Structure 1
C-alpha cells in the first residue's frame, strides 16, 4: 500500500470530540458508486481526525477485529487466493484498489458460532477539484450458499467503511477533517430500508464509533497501557484457554461456593480465572522444560471418560518435581492440572467447601495444613526438589514464594500478587526504584504510560528480590478476568555475576543500601535466602495464619 502522510498529534489533554452519528435513509447519501452492486448507506459521522489517523486505525482493526466486538476472538491472516476470487476486487468510480488481503475470523464461543473468511480490500481516492481525498475498506464474507453468517458478523454481502476529507463543522461548532460513513450491500431477502432499531444498524453504529474512538486516539498519541503476550504467543494461549474452558465447562458454568445465587456470575468468573492460569502454566512449562518421551496420561483416567482422549499436551514439558499451589483456595486450578496429566498438589490452611465436589483422587492432592516459611519443612508434604511453586493472590505468602523456591531447589515460580506484603509487614511504599539497574517492570509500565503507585512499586520490589535470589524474572499481564492480573515468573536461575559486581541487600522497606556487591548467582542467592530467613525468624515477623485460608478464592 502506498505510504500516507503522517498526522500531527493532537493535544493529549484534549477530550475526544463527541461522536455524532447521523442515520442515513436514502440512496442519495451514498459516497460510492459501484459498477455492479447497490450500496445502502447506513449512517455517517463527522471525523475530527485526518486521513492518516483513519488509515492507521483500519490497519489495526484488520489485524485485531476483536476490538470491534466481544464475540470475536482474533483474526488469522490468510494468503490471497490464486487466481483471485471473481468479483472480490470491486470497481468503484473514482476509487482505486491499493491492497487486497484475506483473514479468518475466529469466534470467542466456537460452540455457538463458526469461523468466517473475509476478503478485505482497501481503496484510495485522490484529491481532485472539489472532491477531497479518501480511503475505503470493503469487507466481503466468503460464504457457501447453504452456509449461514455467524452472529458476530452483520448479515450483509459487503460492508464498506469510508473516510472522505472535506471541511465540515460539527453541531457543536468544532471543525472536522472529514466524514466517516458505513454502507452495505444487503442480501436479496432483506428490507430495502434499515431500521435504526435493527441489529444491523446497532452493529454498524458500534463499528463507526470504534473507528471514531481509535482514530482520535491515534491522532492524540494514545499508547496502550498494558502490553500482553510478552512471555507466550497470544494465539497459542487463546486456543488452549478455549479448549480447557470447553473441557472443564461443568465446573466453569456451575461453580458454586454454596453462597447466595446472586453471586453466581462472580463465582463463574473466578472459575474462568483458574482455567486461564492453567493454560498459562501449561504453555510456560512447554517452553521451559524438555518434552516427554512417553505421553503422560491424566491422573484421573477412568473417573471421567471425557478426559481420556489423547491431547497434544500429553508430551509437553513440565517441571520434574511437579507443581505446588501454595494457598490453593478452592482447589480448581489443582483439579484442572491433575486432570490434564500434570503432577502436583495444593495446600491451604483449611479445606474449602468446594473440595468435596471433586473426585477422591483430586481430594487426595489437596492438603489442609499450615504454611510456615520459617519452619523446616515449611509445608507438609515437603516441597519436592525441582517443583514449580505457585502463589496466586497469596497475600503474606507472596514474597516467600521465590524465597522458598530458592531454598528448596525449585525449578521455577509464578506469583500473581493481590494484597501487597513484605516479609514482615504490609508493603506501603508508593514508589520504589530498583537497585539492580533498569527493571523490566519499570520498562514495561513506562512503555504504557503508567505512572507510579503501590502496585508498580510492589512489582518492582518483588522483581528485585527475585533477581537478588538468582532468578531470571519476567513480567506478564495475564489474559484473565481479573484486575489483579500481573504475574511475575521466576525462571532458569542465573549463574555468574553482573558486570559491575555490586552486592545487593534487600530490606523490604524501599531503602537503598549502597556500596556493596550485587548478588545474582544461584549459590550467592541461596546464601542470601538463608540469611534473610534467619533474620525474619529472629525478629518473629511472620505469623502463621490459623483457621482461615490465605490463598486465592
Structure 2
C-alpha cells in the first residue's frame, strides 16, 4: 500500500499578493504541495462540500438546499473573480451536532474555472449571515474562504504535474491572522483534510467501513438528537462504576437504531420524511409483534430507554445490577433475573418465558449468549434479531479460530479457517471470500484478526440457521460497533432445513458435554 506523502504546510508570507482579484481583498494564509493532479482537485473539494462533519466535530452534517449550474441564478453575495468564471453553486445548510448550543448556518459553495475547458481550480465558501445574526463557533470568522489549486510554485519542491493547495480568506474586521490565531489553525486543519482527500482520489481509496446500510444517516441522526435530549439526564444519575458518557450515549444510539429498524421491518420497508417536532410520532411506529427480549441486558439501560419510549419488551440477566432499582417502576417490572438453559429449547414444546413467537431478540455485547442469538431466534420463531458481538464466545467455550469451522454458505461444503483445508477447497474458498466482502468488517481488509474471524463465523452461523444476513456498522461510541442483523427468513433454506441445522448444533453441544448454564445470582425472578 502506498503511503500518503507527508503533509508539508507553510504559512504564506505577510503581504503576499493574491491572484484572486475582484471587489474583495483576498489574503493568502496557508499552502502546501498538492501531491496530486489538477484533475483530482474536483474530487477533493466535492468531499469537502458534502462532508463538512469531517472538518469539525461540532458539525453533524450538511443538507443541500439547491445545486445550480446557471450563473444567472447565483446570489449577488457570491464573489466575482477576474479571469475566473462561476460554473456551479451549491447552497447548503450546516447542521450542528448540538442544536441546543450551536445554531445552524446556510452557506454557498461556489466552484470556479479559469477557462471554460479547465477543471475547477477554486472553491469559495460564503456564509449566509442575515441581519443581527452571528457566525456560529464552528465557522471561521470570514466573509469568504477559498480553496485553490495552483500550478507549481518555486517555493516548493514538487513534481511537474503536481501543484500547490492554498487557502485564502476575506476575514471579518478585527480577525487575527497570525499563526497562533484560531482562523489560521482552522485553515491548517482544512488544508490537511483537503490534502488527504486528494491523495485518496489518487490512490482510488475506498472506505472499508460503510455506515447507514439499512437506516439513512439523516433519519438516524435526527431521531438520535431527540433521544439524546430526552435521556441525557441518565448521565447525572448513573449508578454503575463504568463510564456514564460512553454507556448512556451508546445505548441511546442502539435504541434509536432499533426503533428505526423496527419501523422499516414491520412497516412499509421505507423511512419517509419524519416530523419529530410534533408530539412523539415513534410511539405509533410499527414494532415487533411480540415485543423484544434483551438477553444479557446488564445494567438494563437499553431496556429502560425502549420501555420509556413505549415499546413492549423485557431484559433478562444472570444477576441484578445496581441500576435496576433506580429506574422507574415501569422499567423495573420489565427487568428480570433469569437464566435459561439453551439446550432445553425444543421446537416441539412450549417456549420458555420471554421467548414467545414473534419476539425480537437483542444481544447487545451479550458475551456467552452472542452465538446463541440466531439459534434461539430460529427455535422460538422470532421476528428477527440484532447482535452486537464483543468478547468472542463459541456455544460452550471461548471462540478459537484455529479450532472452529465456518458453517456452510448457501448449502456449500463447510469451510475451515485452517490454511491446509482452504488450499484444498480452491473455488469454495472464493465463495467464502465473496461472502466476506459483504460483511463490512473494516480494518485493513486482511480479516486476519481474531475478532474479524469471529464475526465471519457469526455471519455464516446466521445463514446456517435460516436468516438472511445483514450487517451494519453502528454510529455509537464503541470500537465494538459492528452489528449482525437477521430480520428476514432465508430464501435459500426452508424453515425445516434451518431447524434441522439448529438441532444439529444443539446435538453437537450436548455431545461435547462442556456447556454449563450459569446459575442465577439472587432470586430467579424478583418480580
Range class of TM-score, shorter chain: 0.7 to 0.9
Match of 1:278 in 2: 255
Equivalent of 2:192 in 209, 212, 224: 209
Structure 1 SS opposite 2:140: coil
Match of 1:527 in 2: 500
| Contact preservation (8 Å) 1:169, 1:176 | no
Cα–Cα, structure 1 residues 480 and 349, in superposed 2: closer, same or farther, change >3 Å?
A: same
Equivalent of 1:452 in 443, 447, 453: 447
Q: Distance in 1 between matches of 2:219 and 2:435?
A: 24
Does residue 164 of structure 2 align to residue 164 of structure 1? no
* Cα offset, 1:463, TM superposition: 1.6
Q: Distance in 2 between matches of 1:242 and 1:415?
A: 23
Cα–Cα, structure 1 residues 215 and 255, in superposed 2: closer, same or farther, change >3 Å?
A: farther
State which drifts further: 523-532 or 200-209. 523-532
Does residue 512 of structure 2 align to residue 543 of structure 1? no
Does residue 379 of structure 2 align to residue 384 of structure 1? no
Structure 1: give runs of 5+ residues left out of the alignment.
1-11, 292-306, 499-519
* Cα offset, 1:290, TM superposition: 3.1
Q: Distance in 2 between matches of 1:361 and 1:115?
A: 37
Match of 2:525 in 1: none
| Contact preservation (8 Å) 2:86, 2:112 | yes
| Contact preservation (8 Å) 1:423, 1:541 | no
Match of 1:190 in 2: 174
* Cα offset, 1:494, TM superposition: 2.7
Cα–Cα, structure 1 residues 432 and 445, in superposed 2: closer, same or farther, change >3 Å?
A: farther
Alignment of 1:159-308 (within 5 A): 159-166=145-152, 168=154, 170=156, 177-187=162-172, 189-191=173-175, 194-251=177-234, 253-254=235-236, 256-259=238-241, 266-290=243-267
* Cα offset, 1:25, TM superposition: 5.1
Cα–Cα, structure 1 residues 42 and 432, in superposed 2: closer, same or farther, change >3 Å?
A: farther
* Cα offset, 1:320, TM superposition: 0.6
Equivalent of 1:41 in 21, 28, 38: 28
Cα–Cα, structure 1 residues 46 and 80, in superposed 2: closer, same or farther, change >3 Å?
A: closer
Q: Distance in 2 between matches of 1:277 and 1:428?
A: 28
Deviations 1:236-266 (A, max 9, x none): 1111111111111101x3253443xxx6xx3
Structure 1 SS opposite 2:133: coil
Alignment of 1:381-530 (within 5 A): 381-429=353-401, 435-436=409-410, 437=431, 440-445=435-440, 450-453=445-448, 454-495=450-491, 498=492, 520-530=493-503
Match of 1:351 in 2: 320
Cα–Cα, structure 1 residues 134 and 28, in superposed 2: closer, same or farther, change >3 Å?
A: farther
TM-score of the aligned structures, taking structure 1 as reference length? 0.81
* Cα offset, 1:168, TM superposition: 4.5
* Cα offset, 1:364, TM superposition: 0.9
Does residue 83 of structure 2 align to residue 109 of structure 1? no
| Contact preservation (8 Å) 1:182, 1:204 | yes
Match of 2:8 in 1: 20
| Contact preservation (8 Å) 1:432, 1:457 | no
Structure 1 moving runs of 4+ over 6 Å: 173-176, 377-380, 430-433
Structure 1 SS opposite 2:151: strand
Q: Distance in 1 between matches of 2:507 and 2:126?
A: 67
**Aligned Cα RMSD in Å?**
2.9
Q: Distance in 1 between matches of 2:435 and 2:18?
A: 51
| Contact preservation (8 Å) 1:441, 1:459 | no
TM-score of the aligned structures, taking structure 2 as reference length? 0.85
State which drifts further: 439-448 or 344-353. 439-448
Structure 1 SS opposite 2:103: coil
* Cα offset, 1:327, TM superposition: 0.3
Q: Distance in 2 between matches of 1:548 and 1:440?
A: 41
Deviations 1:75-103 (A, max 9, x none): 11112589835424422122111211111
Match of 1:149 in 2: 135
Match of 2:57 in 1: 70
Deviations 1:183-236 (A, max 9, x none): 11122x324x51222211111111011111221222123221201111111111
* Cα offset, 1:461, TM superposition: 1.7
Q: Distance in 1 between matches of 2:279 and 2:212?
A: 27
Q: Distance in 1 between matches of 2:26 and 2:332?
A: 62
Deviations 1:34-87 (A, max 9, x none): 2x1122222112221111222201111211111111111111111258983542
* Cα offset, 1:373, TM superposition: 1.0
Deviations 1:102-124 (A, max 9, x none): 11111111111111111111012
Equivalent of 2:126 in 136, 140, 153: 140
Cα–Cα, structure 1 residues 448 and 100, in superposed 2: closer, same or farther, change >3 Å?
A: farther
Cα–Cα, structure 1 residues 530 and 80, in superposed 2: closer, same or farther, change >3 Å?
A: closer
Structure 2: give runs of 5+ residues left out of the alignment.
269-275, 411-430, 523-527
Cα–Cα, structure 1 residues 255 and 201, in superposed 2: closer, same or farther, change >3 Å?
A: farther
How many residues are treated as equivalent by the alignment?
486
Equivalent of 1:56 in 23, 32, 43: 43
State which drifts further: 381-390 or 342-351. 381-390
